[in-house]
Amino acid sequence: MKKSTWQDNGIINRYRDMLPLKASTPVVSLGEGSTPLVYSSWLSKSIGEGSEVYIKCEGLNPTGSFKDRGMTVAISKAVERHVRLVVCASTGNTSAAAAAYAAHAGISCAVLLPYGKIATGKLLQAFLYGAKIISLHGNFDDALSIVRQLSKDPKVEIVNSINPLRIEGQKTAAFEVVDELGEAPDFHFLPIGNAGNITAYWRGYREYFTCGKCSILPKMIGFQALGAAPLVFGHIVQDPDTIASAIRIGNPASWRLAASALNQSHGFVDAVTDMEILSAQVQLARKEGIFVEPASAASIAGLLKCVSKHSELPIIRRLKEGARIVCTVTGHGLKDLNTPAGTGMCPIESDATVDSVRNILEIG
């Protein structure tokens, strides 16, 4: 008899035949994947007659972001190879996922984080999961460059998305979308930072297309923050800056792969301002009850920007004419409690009497 069954819901057991794992590879899972695909009547109406917009809520993964999909595969393989130490550079979410899965596997984890630029919740996660936290006097790109140099040492396993197993695990999100909708969407919107996730989704859709599980492929539409938009400008950004700290990346590791996903799918990449990101974050919470971190709101901000500012482009006209659209929101809102959207928070104080509360509610 198995010791437990709950972890059987993870992406490895769900999609093992599509992943590069042996039958004997041990499974290190926290029950990731199978995240909600929520129909948004607000966004569907904003787009146009007959269009359907769905939100893939990746913040509902065990550590609160999509990174868990790749991490279950990377850490499972690390355990198979008897690796004792995993290392990553991170803007926060990768470090939380690496630390959690390493803890679950009983191996050590070290994370390199840009000093002072990590959302509190993510830092706390890495700390509580027991990772060695190295706070680097540099940005994410500096941290990744150091990690690349460490990767030559056979005693350590790098679990950034330069490790191909991460992309393999993350592609399962595309499988889930197709399994649920019965077809691939016409458009898929998502935020871009290090550019691994857009690469992973595109691979997932293509693999499902090849096996006949879907008969169309979506156009991939990526959004970067304006202050950290190397793919949009076509050059490295030396000092990337944005309120969306998760995507504060000036030299994405998967740049080439993401560019080919954008080209092959006939999609495009564009940038949104911090104001647009924060506005989308608040609207998504108020209109749909979905609370995401700022970086995640870039996909929603991007969709809203397409409709309001690019509506004459043929690709956007197509989007408004009864298209099926999926937006991935990548991380949970509770990770980043210092977002400016919260500064207007002002609870109404009341005496502890029913009359006082009635008064406030204006129900006499």
Buried-exposed string 1-30: b where 16+ CB fall within 10 A, e elsewhere? eeeeeebeebbbebbeebbebeeebebbbb
Q: Which of 55, 82, 56, 85 is nearest to 69 (CA)?
A: 56
What is the Cα–Cα distance from 171 to 151, expressed in whole angstroms? 23
Q: Between residues 55 and 195, which has the closer beta carbon with respect to ligand AN7?
A: 195
Which of 60, 73, 195, 297 touches ligand AN7 by CB under 6 A?
195
Question: For ligand AN7, what does the binding mask look like between residues 1 and 30, x meaning CB under 6 A?
Answer: ------------------------------
Angle (CA) 29 32 37, round 5°:
165
Contact between 293 and ligand AN7 (CB under 6 A)? yes
**According to CB under 6 A, which one of 247, 262, 271, 319 is a site residue for ligand AN7?**
247
**Contact call for residue 251 and ligand AN7 (CB under 6 A):** no
End-to-end CA distance of the chain: 61
- 33 scored as a contact of ligand AN7 (CB under 6 A): no
Q: Which residues contact 128 (CB under 8 A, 6 or more apart)?
A: none
Q: Looking at 33, 114, 193, 204, which residue binds ligand AN7 (CB under 6 A)? A: 193
**Is 224 an interacting residue with respect to ligand AN7 (CB under 6 A)?**
no
Q: x/- site string to ligand AN7, residues 73 to 112, per CB under 6 A?
A: -----------------xxxxx------------------
Closest C-alpha among 77, 95, 81, 61 to residue 20: 77
* Residue whose entry in the numeric block shows the structure tokens 């995993």: 86
Q: Is 197 in the site for ligand AN7 (CB under 6 A)?
A: yes
- Does 65 bind ligand AN7 (CB under 6 A)? Our answer is yes
Question: DSSP secondary structure string, 74-109?
Answer: HHHHHHHTT--EEEEE-SSHHHHHHHHHHHHHT-EE
> Would you count residue 331 as binding ligand AN7 (CB under 6 A)?
yes
The nearest distance, CB 71 to ligand AN7, in angstroms, is: 10
242 binds ligand AN7, rule: CB under 6 A: no
Contact call for residue 301 and ligand AN7 (CB under 6 A): no
Cα 53 from Cα 363, distance rounded (Å)? 37
Mapping DSSP to helix (H, G, I), strand (E, B) and coil, where does residue 290 land?
coil
**Would you tell me which residues interact with ligand AN7 (CB under 6 A)?**
65, 90-94, 191-197, 246-247, 293, 295-296, 330-331
